[in-house]
Structure 1
Amino acid sequence: MSKKRLVHKLYNLDGFQESLLPVVVQSVTLQFININTENNEFMKKVIDWEYMLLCGSILAKSDNGEHLDVAYRIAQYCLNSLETNEHQKLAATIILDSMTNASTIQLAMEKELIPATYKENVPLTFQLEMIKRGIQYSVLDQGTNNLLYVNRFQLDAYKGAMENDWTSISAPTSAGKSFIILQMLIQYLKKQNNQVIVYIVPTRALIQQVEYDLHKALSVNKLGKVYVTSVPIFPKDMENESVVFVLTQERLQWMLLDNHEIKPSMIIVDEAQKIGDGSRGILLQQVIEEIIRRTSEAKFIFSSPMTSNPEIFLNKATSGSLTKSIVTEQVTVNQNLLWVSQVPRKPTQWNIELCLKDSRIYLGKFAMRNRPTQVSKRLPFIAFELGNKEGGNLIYANAPAEAEKCAKILWDLQGDEADTTDKEIHDLIKLIKKVINKDYVLAEILTRGIAFHYGNLPLIIKNEIERLFKNGKIKYLVCTSTLIEGMNLPAKSIFIRGPKKGIGTPMNEIDFWNLAGRAGRQGKEFQGNVICVDVTDSKLWNGEPPSIKKKYVIEPSVDMVVQNIDQLIDFIEAGTPRKEASSNPELEYGFGYFLGEHIRNDGLNNSPFLDSYEKETVKIVEKTITESLQDIEIPKEIILKNSAVSPIAQQKLLQFFKECDEEIEQYVPLLPESDEALDQYCRIVEKISGFLSGDPAAITYPHALLVVEWMRGYSLSRIINRNWKYWKEKNKNLQTVIRDTMRDIEEYARFKFVKYSSCYIDILKYFLECNGYEEIVKDIPELSLWLEFGVSQETQISLMSLGLTRTSAIAVSEYIVATDLTPKQCIGWLKEHNLESLDLSPIVVMEIYNVLSVHTKVDLLNN
């Protein structure tokens, strides 16, 4: 009998499954001290550990995810059980070693479940096997000549990337993708000099985390001549160095448009499944294809969670490229899906069940200390009862306001005895009061180890919240969809109730399992819990919560546009109405995508990226696009640069400039510090809203004021205070004003106005040049960089390019006289001055020291 058949037969034996259930149930249940297990028959069962460990050792050799999950379960529960002896724990450790799970063995040693000298007690035969595995599952660090121990998946991924030009990796969230991709990048940099590398991340929130990890890895590996930045412009003083850009697809598009000669040599696409994420998915596909057009020699690495078709990214590989798709079901932690529901007619009594593949197992019941008199209390009440008091509790909220309310309830549940005197917590509270507002609810709830986290918060605040959550000082963290976008936090348990993504849109299974994957992080926990609340409410859950983890199919957004091609045709033929473009941006971006292919290839039939679509469909789109361009005067270069804005809308703006009876200077952007800036930007925002974005005229003034203040580098608190003075007389709640202000900055000033003002300026410049106004053109500022980063001084932008947040860059720049320092000059200034003597938050000072420590090491390596 083959090894594979033996494993399969063992796993499906009724006797084995019966023996396994008590292991699983006890392992899960004993995490929760508040559960009454009186009617749980499995808690009374005695486990035959010799038999289970033997079975675990066989299953550990499988590649099947279900088998590996069981083998890991047996091993980790054996290590944690009070009923197992030293020899059995040693056997469990050998099983983990056979699964190449060194991080769990390290965790067991840290928790003193096994001695650090455990290898001395391993029988010789197994010692030899462990040594062999240690060599087999290691990669050579060519810089230090040391061996780096990796797991099965990581070795396959590493070899695949080193041996191929295009690699697509699909693995569970906790398999260690980010770590091994970082090692691939480091090894590539050691072999190659003067490279341009692009690391694409799906959100701005992830940029700094990747930057930090890269800086740390470069320092450890003594790679000095590498510059890492998230600013999409080439630094002036970085000659003879490789550059790693960590960018969203928006920033990458911006950099590619401004630098036609750039040919990245390596591109890493993190969370690559986002190619199916609506309009941003279309943009991601556009920037990937633009790089392919520029060079056939670039190395691509795509990373996605458990998907059934990761090879879809390899379809675009250039002729002659070596490609490989790597899929794994590597298990590095157990993840438990738990369903919680109210006991009928007893509001304070709740049942908890464990969801397995084919059944649900009753674990017990627990009682709430208070009646959940409002529906909004259920989630925080349950998180409080079942959460680990040492920390690691994440609660998913559907919106920022909901997150704040949930966190406030948890703060109240904690009581006075949870009040903390921790200095780091109180440093964060002081910073929040200074950076946001003295009465912001986040400052209050932190006093008891509670926090919330959503995308629009200032980056320095989010970073510190994440750090304090990781080290256990924040016990409960309420998050919105930023958790799905890859926020890397080690959570013990995630609590979910009727999750939505966006306003009123039920979360799909893909996002649910991506969210669930955050429970139980490799090397931090033995297991994680996904706790679904009110599972019997079919309306709340749009049926019932997902119960079986599946691989999902990646479907690019462009493909989805093609599947509904009639919608796109109707949109174009209707003249691309602004209201519809705003409500359904995939249509505008889809139009831009096909229009770009039409222009670049002199017709869609010649595009190398459209071969997979039916010729008749392409023919219909071609005809519609050709007809739509008949009255368009806008140069092709401008259309291509602004592919996310309809050329029909662009033409209407150009027509306004042509027919304008007023002085054209009134519509020319000024420097934000100009006395006339607000009036000028009111006129500009009005025209952008009317011709390009479709925003209502009523919000022209507040949007213009926000844009001007943001570019001037005003602090967030100053902008909030100005808004509050206006809205408090209209009886608007302060917390709502704070949320709305942060939302408008992120969604309008940093995104929407960036996109549309760039298009506006291109059309304005074209009109001015055609009509002899070249002198005016010279004075038009480039707003995009200032808007994206919220500063307009070169010194501040240089500070941010080094890795500082906007808050820190603005705070320290107040002490710097020169406004035109380069990144290297900024490092020199920071080194020369005593930061402790400046009136800066300890959190700002710590961030500056972290940046300095990295760049100082780089300088030493270069000398």
Structure 2
Amino acid sequence: MKQLKNDILEQWLNIELTSVAHKMGLINADRVVSYNEALIYNSVRCLDYESIMVASPDVNYIITVIGLMWEHINFEEYDLRKIIVKFLSRIGYPTSAIICDENFDRTNCKFTVLDSYIDEITTTINQLNNEVNIGNRKYLLTNFQKKIWDSMDNNKILGISAPTSAGKSFVILLKIVNRLRSENIDIVYIVPTLSLLNQVMEDFNRELKANGVDNYWITNSFDGKQVKDRKTIYVMTQEKAIAAFDNFDEAFSKKLILVADEIQNIERIEEDSDQRAKILFDTLVEFRYKDNVDKIIISGPRIEEIDKVGEHIFGIETIEHTTNISPVLNLTYSIKKKDKRYFLKQYCILTKNPLVIGIENTNLIKCYGKKIYTNDYLEYLGCIVDKIGRNSQNIIFAPTSSTARKIAVTLEFPVTQSNSDLVEYYRNSVSENYSLCETLMKGVAYHHGKLPLHVRRTLEVAIANKNVSNIVCTTTLLQGVNLPAQNIFIRNPHLYVKKTSEAVELTNYEMANLRGRAGRLLKDYVGRTFVMDEDAFAETEGYEQIELFEDESKELLTGYEQKFQEYKWEIEDALKNDKVVDETMKKYGYIISYIRQSILRYGKDSKYRMDNVGIKLTQKQVAAIILKLENLTIPKQVCYKNRYWDPFVLEKIYTDFDLIVPQTPYEKGAKNKIDKILKWLRDKEETAFMYKKYIPSEYQSGQKRSIMVSLGLQWANGTKLCEIFKTDRYKGDGGSEKIDETIELLQQTISFNLPLLLKPIYDIKNPDSCFLVCMQSGAIDSITRTMIEMGIPRETSLYLFEEIFSDFKENEKSELLEENIREIIKQNYDSFPYWIQVQLNFIK
């Protein structure tokens, strides 16, 4: 039977390989291999044996063979739908069988009639092990999901590691919804990106409404108003969560469940340039010391020993749930050049060596081994995508955001769905010259971190609705964003076009996660990744030639121990001699700030806390630092609110800063005042390091800094993007690129970095000012700011204010609380245009 299994797999993979090669136009039709009756018979026989006679069936093998049969069999000739349902139900993957049954009863989780009454009974019995009930609703789970469901009843901390399409986030969501039906408990759900935040908020809202749960509140920020009899679901980035701890003494004080999704984002914790990884780690550590945390779930794709990750962060036993089984078969195809010949290679998780076929039509291949995205290469890329991806959802990976835009502008595909209303919305809310308007009319979109939030949210809805079939995407795809696609195309692992000293590569682990995005859960059996240049991967460090496209796993660092030990002498010397963190400490300065901040907050107890994150100081060293910190004159609360600043630097600002700070962004002379403050921070020896850290080099001085400040004030005063982009600077051929650059400046530097840089000064000089809040949110009006805090994109909040709130009198506006604002939006929901409505689904 073992030999038969291997023969059947190889035959189906060969059928798949030749079919794909022909579809790509790389081989002629006479080389395409087809199936025969004997192969069908032996495949069914083998699957039947493997699913019922083997004690531990090879689930990946069964899913692979079923997926390939589903792709290539003519069902008018061989209708195998019913036996596929039977096989998948036997092995605990009835969810995958739903694809085969177009009449599946989702309400009652019931498949249509099988071949016999006996088959129906046995399938139902098998299925019962994978059914869960939430009130009157039934859900089908895989064996892996069911284990997570049960474990969430019995275990305090769960670590979940699984491929992208294993459905881990869905079962976590379902279990939380089930608890919210009967318990008054809060949820804190940490996500790495705004796109994923919006996705999770809408998922919660959909399932809560479907299951009749009421009296809940979904928000993406913490305002200190924890209502006892209301269930609050905080879906937050790590930055918002850590801010809650810094600004409120009793943050998240109700009984709660903590979920940290995409936990792999702490992997760069020890890199001096990665602030977000540190913030995520520090946020999780804060929850470690809260007694009201009832349950903790950390999850991510293919994390090694995720139980130890949980134990190191939270200090108690973590129950691990891990699987390498994916309900979607991921195949990787790569083009390889050898001795002036080209080959197409097929990589499958079940085969030791890739299948290879020689390419006949080599004239199709262009720019192999090159890096620049020339018109010749883009013409070739477009041809391949069109051949293989017509009638499919396709993602084209781009190394940078500017390259993503260039690729999207150059490509053109047959337009099957008009996007004229979406294009008109972007023209009115961003600019007539916005490149996305041009690309959408040619059947392609781009998705990267420079998209305005309202564009990002509506574009993701359009992609999910299949309004757009071809998406050029950067590494945003790796952050758990649900952009459904059957095919992914990637040229090489370079995250750059021209190599510099700071250039980075897509790691093997990240490549595995990218490939895992191909294939839609509950929609596809097979997802395909197409590598246009295999040699570029083979020549990149971290990619082993023998295991070029394996499903790589990741070992996560869970503390600062390695970096502390590496720079132990320098760190201890700086602490002993009261050295202020500066440019010379770029590699390790954040640890010095961490130590001083921890000791300032927790005194002698800080030694225990620092030990737990790998920073080993003696009690004598801690006592010495306590004495030094006692000499600070700056109020401790100011230091607490600026945890990533060295307290000695904050002390220097407290004693030396004597400039006037603007109270509001619209007051006379605000620009001149901010210019002077930034110059002071830049020129002051003790603050120069933080200035360079938060302000991009091109905006640190001269006219560019002046432009940044002017844009910052426009943003803070609530000027719409479409008004900002009306100047000549954003017109013509180069204007569309400047639009993307300005959006990045507004959404990253101005709304995040600049407020962090100015915050110590405002906390010292004018803590009650609304200036920084206006800059962070991009709005001057309190109602608009409240809507933004609720999770409504800025441009949409400005629109809503004009449409339904502008006629309120000033005293009425000040009395409007979030509850009132939500209710007014609900009352007016039906009158809003469609693309506004889709951004408000989570509060409808």
- Tell me the TM-score range normalised by the shorter chain: 0.7 to 0.9
Deviations 1:782-840 (A, max 9, x none): 4454333222322113333444221111012113233433223223433555864xxx7
Letter in 2 for 1:281: A
- Deviation at 1:847? 3.3
Of 69, 92, 100, the match for 1:78: 69
CA contact (8 A) 1:311 1:325 kept: yes
Of 414, 423, 426, the match for 1:429: 423
1:685 aligns with 2:678: yes
Letter in 1 for 2:260: V
Q: Give the match for residue 477 of structure 1.
A: 471
1:57 and 1:597 map into 2 onto residues whose CA distance is: 61
CA contact (8 A) 2:488 2:529 kept: yes
Pair 55,832 (structure 1): closer, same or farther in 2 beyond 3 Å? closer
Q: Give the match for residue 517 of structure 1.
A: 516
Q: Give the match for residue 235 of structure 2.
A: 246
Q: Give the match for residue 744 of structure 1.
A: 745
Pair 426,69 (structure 1): closer, same or farther in 2 beyond 3 Å? same
CA contact (8 A) 2:19 2:32 kept: no
Say which SS state the counterpart of residue 243 (structure 1) adopts: strand
Q: Give the match for residue 150 of structure 1.
A: 141
Letter in 2 for 1:303: S
2:17 and 2:70 map into 1 onto residues whose CA distance is: 14
Q: Give the match for residue 771 of structure 1.
A: none
Alignment of 1:132-531 (within 5 A): 132-141=125-134, 144-193=135-184, 195-234=185-224, 240-262=229-251, 263-264=253-254, 265-278=256-269, 279-295=275-291, 297-315=293-311, 323-341=318-336, 351-356=343-348, 357-363=351-357, 365=359, 372=367, 375-377=372-374, 378=377, 381-382=380-381, 384-386=383-385, 387-411=388-412, 414=413, 418=414, 422=418, 425-501=419-495, 504-531=503-530
Pair 186,117 (structure 1): closer, same or farther in 2 beyond 3 Å? closer
Letter in 1 for 2:214: G
Letter in 2 for 1:254: A
Q: Give the match for residue 639 of structure 1.
A: 639
Deviations 1:116-140 (A, max 9, x none): 9975333444433321222211222
Q: Give the match for residue 499 of structure 2.
A: none
Q: Give the match for residue 562 of structure 1.
A: 564
2:321 and 2:829 map into 1 onto residues whose CA distance is: 50
Of 119, 127, 130, the match for 2:120: 127
Say which SS state the counterpart of residue 343 (structure 2) adopts: strand
CA contact (8 A) 1:37 1:43 kept: no
1:798 and 1:64 map into 2 onto residues whose CA distance is: 57
2:710 and 2:320 map into 1 onto residues whose CA distance is: 50
Deviations 1:114-165 (A, max 9, x none): xx99753334444333212222112221xx2433221111101111112112
- Deviation at 1:67? 3.1
1:602 and 1:55 map into 2 onto residues whose CA distance is: 66
1:440 and 1:65 map into 2 onto residues whose CA distance is: 55
- Deviation at 1:842? 4.1
2:216 and 2:837 map into 1 onto residues whose CA distance is: 24
1:754 aligns with 2:747: no
CA contact (8 A) 1:495 1:532 kept: yes
Pair 367,649 (structure 1): closer, same or farther in 2 beyond 3 Å? same
Pair 475,832 (structure 1): closer, same or farther in 2 beyond 3 Å? closer
Letter in 2 for 1:518: R
Pair 241,676 (structure 1): closer, same or farther in 2 beyond 3 Å? same
Say which SS state the counterpart of residue 113 (structure 2) adopts: helix
Pair 568,703 (structure 1): closer, same or farther in 2 beyond 3 Å? farther
1:233 and 1:844 map into 2 onto residues whose CA distance is: 26
CA contact (8 A) 2:581 2:592 kept: no
Say which SS state the counterpart of residue 792 (structure 2) adopts: coil
Structure 1 unaligned regions, length at least 5:
1-9, 766-776, 856-863
1:23 and 1:159 map into 2 onto residues whose CA distance is: 37
2:740 and 2:267 map into 1 onto residues whose CA distance is: 29
2:206 and 2:528 map into 1 onto residues whose CA distance is: 31
CA contact (8 A) 1:450 1:476 kept: yes
2:206 and 2:347 map into 1 onto residues whose CA distance is: 40
CA contact (8 A) 1:78 1:92 kept: no
Alignment of 1:807-826 (within 5 A): 807-815=795-803, 816-817=805-806, 818=808, 819-820=813-814, 821-826=816-821
2:557 and 2:407 map into 1 onto residues whose CA distance is: 35
Alignment of 1:48-67 (within 5 A): 48-60=39-51, 67=58
Deviations 1:253-304 (A, max 9, x none): 1122222123252111111122223332222222222223232543211111
CA contact (8 A) 2:435 2:736 kept: yes
Deviations 1:416-461 (A, max 9, x none): xx35672xx1112112222222112221111121110111211221
CA contact (8 A) 1:490 1:521 kept: yes
Pair 834,98 (structure 1): closer, same or farther in 2 beyond 3 Å? closer
User: After the TM superposition, which of the residue ranges 504-513 and 569-578 deviates more from structure 2?
Assistant: 569-578
1:569 and 1:65 map into 2 onto residues whose CA distance is: 55
Superposed CA RMSD: 3.5
1:570 and 1:496 map into 2 onto residues whose CA distance is: 47
Identity rate of aligned residues, in percent?
A: 19
CA contact (8 A) 2:333 2:347 kept: yes
- Deviation at 1:484? 0.8
2:263 and 2:314 map into 1 onto residues whose CA distance is: 19
1:642 and 1:686 map into 2 onto residues whose CA distance is: 20
CA contact (8 A) 2:597 2:640 kept: yes
- Deviation at 1:650? 1.6
1:179 and 1:117 map into 2 onto residues whose CA distance is: 20
User: After the TM superposition, which of the residue ranges 739-748 and 812-821 deviates more from structure 2?
Assistant: 812-821
CA contact (8 A) 1:27 1:77 kept: yes
TM-score by length of 1: 0.84
Q: Give the match for residue 769 of structure 1.
A: none
Q: Give the match for residue 599 of structure 1.
A: 600
2:338 and 2:390 map into 1 onto residues whose CA distance is: 25
1:99 and 1:609 map into 2 onto residues whose CA distance is: 47
- Deviation at 1:214? 0.9
Letter in 2 for 1:217: E
Total equivalences in the alignment: 792
Letter in 1 for 2:279: L
1:15 and 1:420 map into 2 onto residues whose CA distance is: 44
Q: Give the match for residue 100 of structure 2.
A: 108
Say which SS state the counterpart of residue 671 (structure 2) adopts: helix
Pair 111,491 (structure 1): closer, same or farther in 2 beyond 3 Å? farther
1:64 and 1:441 map into 2 onto residues whose CA distance is: 56
Of 807, 815, 825, the match for 1:830: 825
- Deviation at 1:592? 3.4
CA contact (8 A) 2:68 2:526 kept: no
1:709 aligns with 2:714: yes
Letter in 2 for 1:793: D
TM-score by length of 2: 0.85
